Amino acid sequence: MDAEPTMIYPIVKYGDPVLETAAKPVTEFDDKLKQLVEDMFESMYEAQGVGLAAPQIGFSLHLAVIDTSFKEDPSAKLVLANAKILSMEGKQAGGEGCLSIPEFRENLARAQRVTIRAQDVNGNWYEKTGEDLLARAFQHEIDHLNGKLYIHHLSSLKRDMMKRKIKRLVRQGEW
Ligand SMILES: [Zn+2]
């Protein structure tokens, strides 16, 4: 692969329809995809996130990257292409945020242990089980690929409150 410079993409914010559209499957595991994956990791680190889905940088592709170690552990860098949840167990409480909904964070119960099946950057299928933060990241990122955001799991009262605040920020040119 040519050494293309890494591109840091701006994060698409809530309100853009790409975030609420089901993403298309990844079919080509070529150099272009490898470059995109590298760009996604760098864009995620730049935004101080531990997970990023392709729609969040404007690509409606069934692709996400996760690094719950935030650069500490190279083996924690995961590429999820065409990922599916195979099983979910238990329950964890905790706060959840999203790079596409900056400044907000809400409590959201999620499964505690989640097993996924996905393809890596070379197209090889793998299965992985994650607990706690990784289980939460799996659920959050795979939701993104299905056009779903964490606010869709909140009560309509809570969600409407957030939407009103966001509308105000949009009007003020701060979104
Ligand atoms: Zn998110």
**What is the pLDDT of the chain when averaged over all its residues?**
96
- The one catalytic residue in 4, 96, 127, 141 is 141
Could you tell me the distance, in angstroms and rounded to a whole number, from the CA of residue 2 to the centre of ligand 1? 30
Closest CA to 133 of 100, 101, 94, 106: 94
Q: What order do you get walking across the sheet with 63-67 strand by strand?
A: 51-53, 63-67, 77-89, 113-119, 125-131
Report the pLDDT value the prediction gives residue 1, as an integer from 0 to 100: 52
Distance 31 CA to ligand 1 centre (A): 26
- Cα–ligand 1 centroid distance for 94 (angstroms): 15
131 is catalytic: no
Q: Summarize pLDDT for 67-108 with one digit per residue, the tens.
A: 999 999 999 999 999 999 999 999 999 999 999 999 999 999
Is the pLDDT assigned to residue 3 strictly greater than 70?
no
* Ligand 1 mean position, distance from CA 51 (Å): 7
